Amino acid sequence: MVETQMKSQTISVEFQLIHQTVAFFKQ
């Protein structure tokens, strides 16, 4: 259960980073 939670957290963090990068390039 802990591994799944950590994996989902990592995925959400990576998704946020990608979103920020895309927004940065769109400017």
The DSSP secondary structure of 7-27, one letter per residue, reads: HHHHHHHHHHHHHHHHHHHH-
Q: What pLDDT was estimated at residue 14?
A: 96
Q: pTM for the complete prediction? A: 0.58
pLDDT of residue 5: 85
R_g over Cα of the chain: 12
Amino acid occupying residue 13: V
Sites in the chain below the pLDDT cut of 70:
1
